[in-house]
């Protein structure tokens, strides 16, 4: 971890693992839903009461992300997970200035950031305060 090495320098087992990986793309319609819900600057305002939204940015290789997801699921916290398998993950991360994972953020009714946390303990603290 922490540096990149060409596949040609991997040992036999790691090369075998690398070449046997299965890659997949998220369904385009799911990404379109995500963009229409969170990514459009010209998004129509709904007249019904809008609640705050929790966004969780994760990656499939993050060692801390499963613990955060597990905590949120057990606490029955509503959140929208954005992970690196989504086609527009980079655009969403850039839009919200996400530089590391896991990152959880709460957005208010106007889509403005209320708080942000990068560690499980910080997320637990924010959710306990009900802010």
Q: What is the C-alpha to C-alpha distance for residues 77 and 54, in angstroms, rounded to an integer?
A: 9
pTM above 0.75, yes or no: no
For residue 65, give the 3-state DSSP assignment.
Answer: helix
For residue 128, what are its two tokens? 């306990």
Do 65 and 101 meet the contact criterion of CB atoms below 8 Å apart? Answer: yes
pLDDT of residue 130: 66
**DSSP character for 52?**
P
Give buried/exposed letters for 87-119 (b at 16+ CB in 10 A, else e). Answer: ebbeebbeebebeebbbbbbbeeeeeeebbbbe
CATH number of 26-36+51-129: 3.40.30.10
- Dump pLDDT digits (tens) for 78-125: 999 999 888 889 999 999 999 999 999 999 988 899 999 999 999 999
State the Cα–Cα distance between residues 84 and 91, nearest whole angstrom. Answer: 11
């Amino acid at each position: 971890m922490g540096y990149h090495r060409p596949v040609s320098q991997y040992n036999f087992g790691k090369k075998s693992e690398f070449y046997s990986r299965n890659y997949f793309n998220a369904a385009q319609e799911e990404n379109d839903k995500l963009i229409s819900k969170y990514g459009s600057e010209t998004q129509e305002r709904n007249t019904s009461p809008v609640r705050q939204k929790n966004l969780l940015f994760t990656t499939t290789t993050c060692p801390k992300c499963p613990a955060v997801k597990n905590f949120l699921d057990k606490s029955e916290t509503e959140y929208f997970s954005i992970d690196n398998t989504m086609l527009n993950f980079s655009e969403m991360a850039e839009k919200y200035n996400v530089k590391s994972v896991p990152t959880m953020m709460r957005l208010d009714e106007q889509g403005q950031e209320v708080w942000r946390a990068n560690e499980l303990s910080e997320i637990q603290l924010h959710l306990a305060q009900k802010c």
